[in-house]
Structure 1
């Protein structure tokens, strides 16, 4: 893959054979974010687990203290009093059965997170084939299946993110924007790592954190010293 001049110049400041402390890694990633837009800073965390086994799954949610820097659009499936609660809390879209054909047939996906009350999961389940592959299905572990829709919406708007393993046992999550201060990014990163370490399955053996890499949208990756994180 051919890399641009800006990427190559940014990469020169990073030693691929060095495992950096979190603060230094964040500083390098910020310096390497030289695109013309406000790049997202992401953490890529490879865990020593096998997500194919239920007792080794790692999934949850955490509220980042400084948010993600992204405006998140929330869709809530609810009925009765919960509709007004969700709207008052700042949900972008609230509805029920009438949204099924819009999503299923019209391909409407103008939302980033879906929240549902438990009594609406029968309705939402019909959208499994659409929402599932996009990681949008509400889940109790992530706090997106709940009767307290107001809290769920407010947390998401405040910077709550969901983390879970992909098929290669890596977690990919945003920790902020390149425009954030190093302190803000570090706060978010430490909060995220604390949650993931706390979520370590009892069945996980050996070194839990195999590798942790930080990178901006268009920049090179910076590897961290996992021994200082666990």
Structure 2
């Protein structure tokens, strides 16, 4: 195992690894222990009580964070005619059809999100093996296969985050930047957990949210009490 640097060890020393913090305590501590010379991303990892090997326990969804992620997102749209025009007017960075498919086949991947109209999906099969493993393939479940192109593009630009449980039963998501400050990150966290609770599969039994960890890009993980989720939503949700 690689030896951690002095700044990381100093940050870790401030974290009580036997404690389960409240969200407010954890976010404050994460910001206090941030030490990188760039604006670190604040991330959340959630251990769920599901078995992703079973299709009826798959957890997947999306949420538009009220304050965005703090990261500029390049959006590519596969559409034709009027829908292509709508995409451009909504702020898409790249719009096309066969021309973009060919470009991707040749190795071009300078984009972060992909949206497509339903009629374009059969053609996207040609690049499924390129987009799929990178989590870029459009999907109806995340609202990225739609005729409402303008809405999809605007939501992504505003800070829409897609989440999906991994093989270990964990969901990861960015919830802002250190520069956001505590309140904005807590409000983003509240929106994320609302969406995560709504995505709970009916087949999931027992405790759904089993563990929560908050960290910055370079900082140590800070464990949060899962029982504080309802309090977080009650206090910081915009609803």
- Same structural fold, with TM-score higher than 0.5 when normalized by the shorter chain: yes
SS at match of 2:29: helix
Within 5 A, what are the aligned runs for 1:18-29?
18-29=19-30
Structure 2, unpaired ranges of 5+: 231-239
Within 5 A, what are the aligned runs for 1:1-230?
1-105=2-106, 107-229=107-229
Structure 1, unpaired ranges of 5+: none
**Equivalents in 1 of 2:138, 2:33: separation in Å?**
35
Q: Deviations over 1:54-113 (max 9, x none)?
A: 1101101100000000000000000110011000000000000111221112x1110000
- Structure 1 segments, 4+ long, off by >2 Å, are none
TM-score computed with the length of structure 2 as normaliser? 0.94
**Equivalents in 2 of 1:168, 1:220: separation in Å?**
20
- In structure 1, the partner of 2:234 is none
TM-score computed with the length of structure 1 as normaliser? 0.98
Structure with the larger helix share:
2
SS at match of 1:229: helix
**Equivalents in 1 of 2:224, 2:86: separation in Å?**
42
**Equivalents in 2 of 1:53, 1:79: separation in Å?**
37
**Equivalents in 1 of 2:30, 2:125: separation in Å?**
40
Q: Deviations over 1:12-56 (max 9, x none)?
A: 111000000001100011111110011001001111101121110
**Equivalents in 2 of 1:160, 1:172: separation in Å?**
14
